[in-house]
Structure 1
């Protein structure tokens, strides 16, 4: 439904606003029938059917045509614990001359409903049909409706009307305006209303403090609280909820503890909402111990209390404690399930997230919602679990859930990371509304699959659609240029970021640019770019340079990059591994031994390579030399067969790649053939049909020997192999890879 034009709202019958009638009935004060026995029955009703019976009796006796009596019926229909706005509207339409109280009641009910547009339409009818002009009780409800709709222009029109009819000093209306402007993202206008108020009550201060907190200005909220103290305005529980939220957003633990003691000293009425706000503050400030002490003392707990504790434990990595809270909860609503699933997914435990999702499906205690599905799709993306991801896509359709931007982005990301770029494109093109994150996700998908030119074309279409790119978009488009070797295009995008699009290049963009130049062998230009950076280079920048040195075997520059990287991240085992590989390729075996010894001395171990493959909805994981799988005998038999067939076409293992396993000094030569991705390929060959692609996810960069073997296997066995490593996708088909050996 279209929002009413504010110009219609402000001009009821003439070109100027009528002066309010001081004798108009603004309250229900015409109470001739107030004690009528029929009206007393209205308060005893517990369902709409009973109201309708009284309505019929009022029509028979003529009582309905008394404005006060009719307003009692309207109020019960619209604002009771069992409201029926459709019925209230029908009753209202039967009243010959509704009084102002009745108009206000209906406006108020719609303003708080799921259809606040109707509140504005009722107001327009009132301007044209009622002899009474809106009063100080009308405007707060209208402003609330504009706030729910986030209609800035309409709300401003109401603000103007308020001033014209001399209600500009009414504290209730001004408090509504503060909330309205904040909801519309106009904190400055809301603060101007607050500052210019002739009189402020505690609600005024609370409204402004809450507005600052929700608007991402916690420091201003705390400053306002301090000013409130100097003005001798006594804060209440709502004030303290806002102040605690500000502390949580700032992670200001010390001030948060002071606020807790302030609440106790001033005996500010404790409530469940206030206790939950304190719990939230402690968990977000990282002090689960304080939160647990408070939690144990709370006389009353609700689902929010339990969920807050669950999230607190999950946030600091204490998953057993989080699971314990979850198992102990008296009621596990979907918010609790979501909190734990999201915690596992965000902390790199996708298997646990999917296990919990399966438990949710079996539990029957709650139903997955949008938040559940977004987290679960992300876990599927991490593991390459496309069967489950595809099932969720079907579930969304069957449940009639609207594909909003969050779900769309998650589906695109899942399909891309599971290796099905075409399905990701189908999802992308199927939705009408695409925000910047949907476009960016699709560009990222094309980038990781090596479709650099297509990613650039999509970026151009994004401009045509008038969607402004953000920092994430540029990270993705620069990655596309890097994976496809599009150096000139990368330079152009990087140089246009601030000048053309107003996006300031950040660390990630510089790291991408160093990667683009480094991969192309332009190491001097990459170093020059690092030296000119307006901020200190982060570990990702030095890591990109070190990776490029590995490709082009530049020992001297690699040593410099590694030194800088380890200074920032002393525990970065990947830096040692890369430098060790460079030394090995250069034949500097003494330095290889020195690095291995240094890693042992500082207690560092190389991250073990792990490859996963989904078969019939089950994700199977393999480590190097893994023999724990139930099908190990068949897998190793297949590996022997592969080795024999490879030997017949002249394949010779590249032994230099053994050096990546720097912590395992006793590795035998044949261990090269036991890399995790080779085990996963063998398992894929024995457990999937000839027409099915073998989809593998590797947690590290695929080594050169495994890359060569995958190409050869794809030709020998006529199988398509899709291998996702830490950086990109490799599509192996008929002896070739989509990366063209540029990775």
Structure 2
């Protein structure tokens, strides 16, 4: 047993400070009870704080508090704070109501935990009720309460209310937290990024990384990536949040090269990437096909012992799949300690895209055996697998079971897969019937799939009808004109093909050239369709490949290529497509 009461409290407080897990917390709590100190406000407040920081259950925190016979406001505030940081933060609101019903009067420390809860849950109504109580109890001008109130309105989209609170605060009392919260509010989607930047420049304090990051994220959110980059370059104290914001911002707008460039710069800095940074970088690798960079990131994850959670694991699976290495996708999938439905979906879709439909269907069966219920995204992958394998009956079965067995209403993506499945199988009339009976208005993807199917099947009449819908929906997409022109060209209707191409020229629509990208020596290189700026070695290798394919009996599909040039020239035009150029460039480079 411990000696005097004050000495006991001091020693137990020292012991509580050393608690690093819930087992140690419970042992320390037992010692508090054994030594007859369950009524010590100081020790109980510390125990309640540890319950939230160590993710102990709300019920356990409640049991500790209930042992106190006459809790005071200080202890109630400790309970509210513990609840606000728990996995059930609404308990803080309920406890505050009980606190008031028991006749206690709050102080300025009672409200910040409540505003934290309302901010975290975006609970605007409850936050307004707490604000009213702040005014009724006379704490409306308290700087601590005002700052939390400002942060609540700022994060919940109440920009006007946040500004009113900001203006009511004494100018000398507005600290850096208040200024940053106001800047963040204006930088949100419902704010005004120009006003945010004005406040940012007018801020009377030294701006910390949180403030700089709020402004950088604001510019990114408002689509002003150049302004965000300018601030990012200017700020010398970049932390992991700043780096991650810039990388994620570039990835979000499709500037994947820039995202990886910033990531490379980050690797040379003192900041270490976190989970969000790695996911954004891996996603950029997936879109660019930059498998070597992706593999180096994977290696970094393994060397640094970063836990392969569902977010990083799923992104790795997607990256390897999109970069053409489905075997590595499977390895990552098998190594993941925990999987969620998104992980399964990504793996199923990857197998389907790689033409491994049987494996995708087996994976679907394994997923159900593991107790996961398929969702709408799962069935997109399953229908893709059936489409790539030509399994019409199976595809129809899964489409029907999605509706009847799982109660999932088909979305436009599912109808697109079914149209593609029927079209690939040559069942053009059934595909058209499905499009005409869809309960959803067909979009350009649906009509495009039907037009492509008509081109393969040589069904000009239906192709014309589908292409008309396609052009009505996307008159500015040059690919739609090319599709229709190719249908005519494939049937030697050169006059009609020329009319469509003339329509494209007269419309002023800019033709989008196809391109392919490939990673060579850690650098992502792009090749444009019809590029004539490559080296002689590459042209020579392209010619050699074309000759070897011809000797093996391959007949190039030249019917759709420029009817007004000679046959040999058409074959040459096809031999120089962007995918072949990319592959040949990699082959030439590997021999250097």
Q: Please report the TM-score for the alignment, with normalisation by the length of structure 2.
A: 0.83
CA distance in 2, matches of 1:563, 1:273: 57
Q: 1:355 to 1:222 in 2, by over 3 A?
A: same
* Higher helix proportion (structure 1 or 2): 2
Aligned-pair CA distance for 1:344: 1.8
> Which of 226, 231, 238 is residue 148 of structure 2 equivalent to?
238
Q: Who is 2:314 aligned against?
A: 409
Q: Distance in 1 between matches of 2:411 and 2:543?
A: 49
Summarize the Cα distance change of 1:266–1:528 in structure 2 as closer, same or farther, 3 Å threshold: farther
- How far apart are residue 427 of structure 1 and its match? 1.2
Using the TM superposition, give the Cα deviation of residue 374 of structure 1 relative to its aligned residue in structure 2, in angstroms. 0.9
Task: Give the alignment partner of residue 169 of structure 1, picking from 98, 112, 122.
Answer: 98
- Cα 1:274/1:687, change in 2 over 3 Å: same
SS in 2 for 1:411: helix
Q: CA deviation at 1:292?
A: 2.0
Equivalent position of 1:111 in the other structure: 51
Distance 1:680 1:168 in 2: 67
SS in 2 for 1:655: coil
Is structure 2 residue 353 aligned with structure 1 residue 440? no
5 Å-filtered alignment, 1:362-441, equals 362-363=268-269, 365-441=270-346
In structure 2, what is the equivalent of residue 225 of structure 1? 128
Separation (CA, whole Å) in 2 of partners of 1:169 and 1:642: 80
1:334 — aligned with what?
A: 240
Shift of 1:417: 1.1
Unaligned 5+ residue runs, structure 1?
1-58, 174-196, 248-254, 662-666, 691-743
C-alpha separation between the residues in 2 aligned to 1:230 and 1:67?
39
Partner SS state of residue 100, structure 1: coil
Deviation at 1:92, TM superposition (A): 9.4
Query: Is 1:681 the equivalent of 2:583?
Result: yes
Structure 1 residues 512-555: Cα deviation after superposition (integer angstroms, max 9, x where no partner)? 22222232233333333333333333333223323322322333
Q: For residue 687 of structure 1, report the CA deviation from its aligned partner.
A: 3.2
Task: Give the corresponding residue for 1:633.
Answer: 536
For residues 627-648 of structure 1, give each alpha carbon's deviation from its aligned partner in whole angstroms, at most 9, with x where no partner exists.
555xx23212322333444454
Cα distance change, pair 527–337 in 1 and its aligned pair in 2 (3 A) = same
Distance in 1 between the 2:285 and 2:463 partners? 36
Tell whether the 8 Å contact from 1:108 to 1:119 is kept in structure 2 after alignment.
Answer: no
Counterpart-to-counterpart distance in 2, 1:600 and 1:198: 78
| Offset, 1:91 | 12
- CA gap of 1:231–1:135, structure 2 versus 1, over 3 A, is closer
SS in 2 for 1:476: helix
For the residues of structure 2 that align with 1:144 and 1:480, how far apart are their CA atoms?
A: 51
Q: 1:559 to 1:275 in 2, by over 3 A?
A: farther
1:442-466 CA deviation, whole Å, 9 max, x = no partner? Answer: 0111111111222122111111111
Secondary structure of the residue that 1:621 maps to in structure 2?
Answer: strand
Equivalent position of 1:307 in the other structure: 213
CA contact (8 A) 2:58 2:88 kept: no
The aligned counterpart of 1:65 is 3
How far the C-alpha of 1:436 sits from its partner, in A, is 0.7
User: 1:150 matched to which residue of 2?
Assistant: 87
- Shift in Å, 1:326: 0.9
Larger radius of gyration: 1
1:319 aligns to what?
Answer: 225
Contact 2:392 2:422 in 1 (8 A): yes
SS at match of 1:169: helix
In structure 2, relative to structure 1, the CA distance for the partners of 1:171 and 1:75 (3 Å cut) is: farther
Aligned pair in 2 of structure 1 residues 146, 385: CA closer, same or farther (>3 Å)?
same
CA shift, 1:378, in A, is 1.0
Matching residue of 1:56: none
**Offset at residue 307 of structure 1 (A):** 1.9
In the alignment, the residues of structure 2 paired with residue 134 and residue 440 of structure 1 have an alpha-carbon distance, to the nearest angstrom, of 54
Distance (Å, rounded) in 1 between the aligned partners of 2:456 and 2:126: 54
* Number of aligned positions between the proteins: 571
Q: Does 1:483 align with 2:420?
A: no
Q: Is 1:587–2:587 an aligned residue pair?
A: no
| Structure 2 CA distance for partners of 1:319 and 1:123, relative to 1, 3 Å | closer
Alignment of 1:85-164 (within 5 A): 85=19, 93=31, 96-98=35-37, 100-101=39-40, 102-113=42-53, 115-117=54-56, 133=69, 135=71, 150=87
Q: 1:273 to 1:104 in 2, by over 3 A?
A: same
Root-mean-square deviation (Å): 4.1
SS of 1:611 mapped into structure 2? strand
Call closer, same or farther: CA 1:144–1:214 in 2, change over 3 Å. Answer: closer
Rounded Cα–Cα distance in structure 2 between residues aligned with 1:669 and 1:74 = 85
Matches within 5 A, 1:607-646: 607-626=512-531, 628=533, 632-646=535-549
Instruction: Report the Cα distance in structure 2 between the residues aligned to 1:491 and 1:201, rounded to whole angstroms.
Output: 65
Aligned-residue offset at 1:434: 0.6
Residue-by-residue CA offset, 1:112-140 (whole Å, 9 max, x unaligned): 43x2439977987999xx8x658466676
Residue 447 of structure 2: aligned partner: 542
Q: CA deviation at 1:603?
A: 2.7
Cα distance change of structure 1 residues 487 and 282 upon mapping to structure 2, 3 Å threshold: farther
Mark the CA change 1:200 to 1:106 in structure 2 (over 3 Å): closer, same or farther.
closer
**Is 2:427 the partner of 1:522?**
yes
Query: What is the match of residue 194 of structure 1?
Result: none
Of 140-149 and 328-337, more deviation after overlay is shown by 140-149
Identify the match of residue 357 of structure 1 among 248, 255, 263.
263
Following the alignment from structure 2 to structure 1, what is the Cα–Cα distance between the partners of residues 396 and 587? 42
SS of residue paired to 1:658:
coil
Shift of 1:585: 1.4
- For the Cα contact (< 8 Å) 1:120–1:142, is it kept in 2? no
Work out which of the residue numbers 193, 200, 214 in structure 2 matches 1:295: 200
Give the distance between the partners of 1:223 and 1:122, measured in 2 at CA.
23
CA distance in 1 between counterparts of 2:240 and 2:3 reads 48
Counterpart of 1:360 in 2: which secondary structure? helix
